[in-house]
Chain A
Amino acid sequence: MYDVLAGNLIDIFAVCMLLTSVMAMASVRMRPLIRLFLIQSVFLAIYEFTIAYTQDEPKIYVMAVLTLVIKVIVIPKLLNYIMDRIKVGDEMSLSIGIPGSMLLSAALILLSYFIAEPLVSILDTAERNSLVLSFAMILIGILMMATRHKAISEVVGLLMAENGLFMGAIALSNGMPFIVELGAFIDVLMAVIIIGIFAFRINKSFESLDTTLLRRLKEE
């Protein structure tokens, strides 16, 4: 009974994370997008706490705390700081409209069920079902990077895909060795800082953060 409850709770939080990803695809403004990323990270932290508690895996507590500190507090702060400093317009530019994005997201979710099926059947962790959702989140994150043209929205796409990846890594084997987790967190943080530096520079060279302007390098 207790196991069923735990499994259900874990699934619910995983679904909430996927929902935030889909909502992010429907978002047309940048600040709400950053807020959605924050909410998703909160869900990730709760997801990790639940697993750490129900599966008795103390090392996942550390991950959950790291998620709270880095992904819920530091990175959204940094992104908002960049937004303030470069005074960029709040609206995003999309190469695929909202209905198209929704349809594509739905297709990607179906696709990830199709891909992840053979994997789920051989795993024995309580949270194995969330693996499918994590595949979907990674794919939707990459779709967001490909179809949104503001620098910040590309970054949020990357970060959301990364959230999916963390969820998948936990679903696979109750988390990776600590060194990998730590490396991954540092990597994400470094990436955001460096991306921030270049975002300032894009703003200075192009006077806009629209990365469609970044299409000048190509063969004539």
Chain B
Amino acid sequence: MTPLAMILVPLITGILLLLVRHQMALSYASIIGAVAFLITSLYLCLPILTGGVLDYSVWYIDNLSAFFLVITAIISFAAILYSKGYMEAEYENEIFSIKELSHYYFTMFVFIAVILFTFAVRSAALTWIGIGMTTMVSAFLVGMHKDAAATEAAWKYIMLCSVGIMLALFGIALLFAASSGVLSDDVSLDWPALVLNALDLNPVLMKFAAAFFIIGLGTKAGLAPLHNWLPDAHSQAPSPVSGMMSGVLLNCAMYGIMRFYTVSEIVNPGFARNILLIFGILSLIIASSFIFISKDFKRMLAYSSIENMGLIAIALGIGTQLALFAAVFLVMAHSVCKPLIFFCAGNISQAYGTRNMSEIRNVSKKMKFTGFATVAGGLAIAGAPPFPLFMGELLLLFGALSAGMYYLAGFLGIMLIFVFASITMNLFPMLSGSTDKDVSERKSPFGSAAIVILIAIALFIGLFMPEAMTNVFDSMVSILSGGTP
């Protein structure tokens, strides 16, 4: 199994789906494709997670990349499963034509292929190209609904992220200038070679490179103050896409930042950390205040994504072993919990015909399964035990405390309690109360299966942490602190 095969599976599935013009055939074919890419990527990546590196031609998959690849595969699989029910409902309500449905699946699979590509390549240049391509492809997914609001969201998304991608490219040009005398031209942008020879890189150029790269990809990761596109894009996209975007797409940018961070921290210790700390704290403040005042369900979830990216940035900014552990743990926790609640939000907004939280009432009675899942998902993203975000946040707090950053720890504590309160305050009234709307749960076994799988994974990570997994996290921490896996 080669990385190329892993990327080709979703790509070819996507192209084949373009030919299918029958709704049921489309759903089942897409699920078969999803199973295929799930199996191929797990088959390729699980051995790497337990030790070893895959390194040939343009591919480089170490522990860190394999971790992101596994997350991508699982979440994309869940998103495709969930798409079946969601898209069927949209099709029956005549929101999407059969042609648009087939375009949707095509774009979705290409999107997945591009994300897998981003994580599997060795060179910073290819990582950058991958991240750039994800923006182009997902712009169509954001604009799927073709109405005014979706067009506006897609426009903002593509304009702001293009600026971010451009700044990141300038970062890469600076990185190349820093390494051009040190490394030969063929390997001058390869992540492993950069880490090995980091001490010889020009520190002044590397400072500029880090600033441009982190600001650029920070835009794509939704870090404040360049986060404006994110709430619009995540709320206007169809719900499976919203889940993919916050669970997987934000990780792409975070992954790029992590790789660059590793190199930059060896050359200029503390420089990238400080930038990330500032962005993280800003994101946390802005996101938490908007979570508090949000009225739109999906916008609130989008702001919660900004909050979580901020937490990850803060964890990287603290930079001790414990904090780095918290960073990767938070990545995983967020990637599992956020799609879960986005899928619930999709079910609810389809049934009620609105995303306005004050108009949605009595979900637990009217929609038994979704109500139950929303309780689980809501607690999960608010950061309640036994869900993994709680663990991650706790680890982050301990990381800050053990690094001697007491003010930061205090600030984090207050912010996290505030976010917890805001999310529960906004979300739980929807479950009870009474509504005069005629609402019923739509039967969609596959969509429910996707939600159940995500709840199961979340509970598993939150409650048990097998030693094998701890080892995986430990080796990722050593990669992030500049060592070898």
Contacts and interface: CB of A to CB of B under 8 A. Distances in A.
Interface string A176-207: 11011001100100110011001001100110
B310 interface: no
Contacts of B156: 214, 217
A202 B180 contact: no
Interface in B135-157: 136, 139-140, 143, 146-149, 151-156
A160 to B, nearest CB: 11
A123 interface: yes
B271 to A, nearest CB: 14
Main secondary structure of the interface of A (DSSP, over half): helix
A183 B177 CA distance: 18
Interface stretch (B167-175, B192-200, B460-468): B167-175
A173 B295 contact: no
B294 A216 contact: no
Interface stretch (A15-23, A88-96, A102-110, A162-170): A162-170
B174 to A, nearest CB: 6
Contact of A168 (B153, B165, B173, B290): B173
Contact of A211 (B148, B155, B169): B155
B68 interface: no
B129 A187 contact: yes
Contacts of B163: 142, 145, 158, 161
B146 A198 contact: no
Contact of A198 (B149, B158, B235): B158
B264 interface: no
Contact of B154 (A161, A183, A198): A198
B132 interface: yes
B148 A145 contact: no
Contacts of B235: 217
A119 B155 contact: no
B152 A177 contact: no
A153 B140 CA distance: 21
B125 interface: yes
Contacts of A142: 163
B359 to A, nearest CB: 13
A154 B293 CA distance: 31
Contacts of B123: 179
Nearest to B140: A194
A185 B235 CA distance: 31
B384 interface: no
Nearest to B173: A169
Interface residues of A, number: 40
Contacts of A219: 290, 293-295, 299
Contacts of B30: none
B232 interface: yes
Interface string B189-216: 1000000000000101100100000000
Contacts of B136: 187, 190-191, 194
A165 B173 contact: yes
B146 A201 contact: yes
Contact of B174 (A118, A172, A179, A216): A172
A179 B125 contact: yes
B158 A154 contact: no
Contact of B158 (A172, A191, A211): A191
Main secondary structure of the interface of B (DSSP, over half): helix
Given A122-B205, A172-B176, A194-B139, A205 B148 contact: yes
A133 to B, nearest CB: 14
A220 interface: yes
Contacts of B128: 180, 183
A145 B155 CA distance: 13
Contacts of A162: 166
A36 interface: no
B285 to A, nearest CB: 15
A180 B136 CA distance: 17
B159 interface: yes
Given A122-B202, A194-B139, A219-B295, A158 B159 contact: yes
A216 B148 contact: yes
Contacts of B172: 176, 180
Nearest to A199: B155
B204 A119 contact: yes
26 contacts: A138-B166, A138-B167, A154-B159, A158-B166, A161-B163, A168-B173, A169-B173, A172-B174, A172-B176, A173-B176, A173-B180, A177-B176, A179-B125, A183-B132, A184-B169, A187-B165, A198-B158, A211-B155, A213-B152, A214-B151, A216-B148, A216-B149, A216-B152, A217-B231, A217-B232, A217-B235
Interface of A: 118-119, 122-123, 138, 142, 145, 151, 154, 158, 161-162, 165, 168-169, 172-173, 176-177, 179-180, 183-184, 187, 190-191, 194-195, 198, 201-202, 205-206, 211, 213-214, 216-217, 219-220
Given A169-B173, A198-B139, 19 more contacts: A119-B208, A122-B204, A138-B167, A158-B163, A162-B166, A165-B169, A172-B173, A173-B173, A179-B126, A180-B125, A195-B158, A198-B158, A202-B151, A202-B152, A205-B151, A214-B152, A214-B156, A216-B149, A216-B152
In the complex, the 4 A-B pairs of residues with the closest C-beta atoms, listed nearest first? A169-B173, A172-B177, A173-B177, A183-B129
